[in-house]
Amino acid sequence: MSDQISETLQKKIADRLGFYEDLGIRTFYRDRGTPVASVAQQQLETVGVLIHSNVFPSEERTLPKTARKPEVPKPAPTIGQPAPRVSPLPLPVSTAPSLFESIEKVADDTLLKIREDLGDCMRCKLHSTRNKIVFGDGNPKAELVFVGEGPGADEDAQGLPFVGRAGKLLTQMIEAMGLQRKDVYICNVVKCRPPENRQPEEDEVHTCSPFLLRQIDTIAPKVVVCLGATAAKTLLQTNRGISQFRGEWLEFRGRKLLATYHPAYLLRNPPAKSEVWKDLQKVMAVLGLEVKKGKSA
């Protein structure tokens, strides 16, 4: 077997390594006993397996056979100790002056009022293709709020956020943190499913995000976790790629915000789970949840 790597293979390896570098993964090893060409091939095929953590076990092993029952919000168990004081956190992204900073908190607001104000919303074009509005779900006094992008097919059918494949993974992530879904609040940037699961468009985000803002203000969590670029870009009002500020503590309307990868992205790229788990451990530390050293199963 030739020990030369073809140009095409070299390019594939370079692309793949660039992809992992974007995820913050820079350490790879090579089995020295294996001929170069097949090592290169193996790296392409198995590098993710070598480095990814098993904190959120693979779907095949853990998905329940039956659909999860929708959770009814219940009064909150408080999570952990008081968080350390939040110092002003500089946003390491260049932003236009935030649209949201000028929007004031609505006095005496409640999730119920917000839901009533949303009504049978027809404010944007998404209303014409949706089945159910997916307002949000969970503990109205949660210390931790997860914000996703927008409902998919399962969410649209059930009217609940994150109940499909990505939702199952999010549930595993929450449980790996030592919490349950009913302890946290889960919502999305847009409340209606974009057709074909496309990204929500600017006008749709613009129309819907004031409701999200009110939800966050009302719940008043210690920490907001943005799941994916759409949530992060919307709340932080930035066009920067999420990999530039993922896992960093930022400030959003006086609260701590951290952006991490979307569970749907993790389904496509399991190696990135280890990065997300590191991010969630930071969140656990702030919420006073026990961070289990070396937990990886």
Identity of the residue, 47 or 145, whose beta carbon is nearer to ligand URA in the bound complex: 145
- What dihedral do alpha carbons 285, 287, 290, 294 form, nearest 10°? -40
DSSP, collapsed to helix, strand or coil, labels residue 129 as coil
Which amino acid does the sequence have at 149?
Answer: E
Q: Where is 224: in which H helix or E strand?
A: strand 223-227
Which amino acid does the sequence have at 6?
Answer: S
Minimum distance from residue 276 beta carbon to ligand URA (Å): 14
Contact of 146 with 175, CB cutoff 8 Å: no
Contact of 184 with 139, CB cutoff 8 Å: yes
The residue whose Cβ lies closest to ligand URA is 148
In whole angstroms, how far apart are CA 276 and each of 68, 108, 128?
23, 35, 35
Alpha helices in the chain (DSSP H): 7-22, 36-51, 59-62, 111-118, 153-158, 165-176, 202-219, 229-236, 263-268, 273-287
Minimum distance from residue 111 beta carbon to ligand URA (Å): 17
- What mask, x for binding ligand URA by CB under 6 A, covers residues 105 to 144? ----------------------------------------
Minimum distance from residue 187 beta carbon to ligand URA (Å): 8
Identity of the residue, 40 or 138, whose beta carbon is nearer to ligand URA in the bound complex: 138
Site for ligand URA in 173-202 (CB under 6 A): 188
- What mask, x for binding ligand URA by CB under 6 A, covers residues 29 to 48? --------------------
Minimum distance from residue 285 beta carbon to ligand URA (Å): 25
Site for ligand URA in 53-82 (CB under 6 A): none
DSSP secondary structure string for all residues of 68-116: PPPPPP-PPPP-SSPPPPPPP---SS--PSPTGGGSPPPTT--HHHHHH
Identity of the residue, 162 or 245, whose beta carbon is nearer to ligand URA in the bound complex: 162
Which amino acid does the sequence have at 204?
Answer: E
Identity of the residue, 40 or 227, whose beta carbon is nearer to ligand URA in the bound complex: 227
Number of residues lying near ligand URA (CB under 6 A):
13
Site for ligand URA in 139-178 (CB under 6 A): 148-152, 155, 161-162, 164, 166-167
Minimum distance from residue 230 beta carbon to ligand URA (Å): 7
Identity of the residue, 55 or 264, whose beta carbon is nearer to ligand URA in the bound complex: 264
Identity of the residue, 47 or 226, whose beta carbon is nearer to ligand URA in the bound complex: 226
Place of tokens 């992060």: 232
Site for ligand URA in 255-294 (CB under 6 A): 264
Q: By the criterion CB under 6 A, which residues form the site for ligand URA?
A: 148-152, 155, 161-162, 164, 166-167, 188, 264
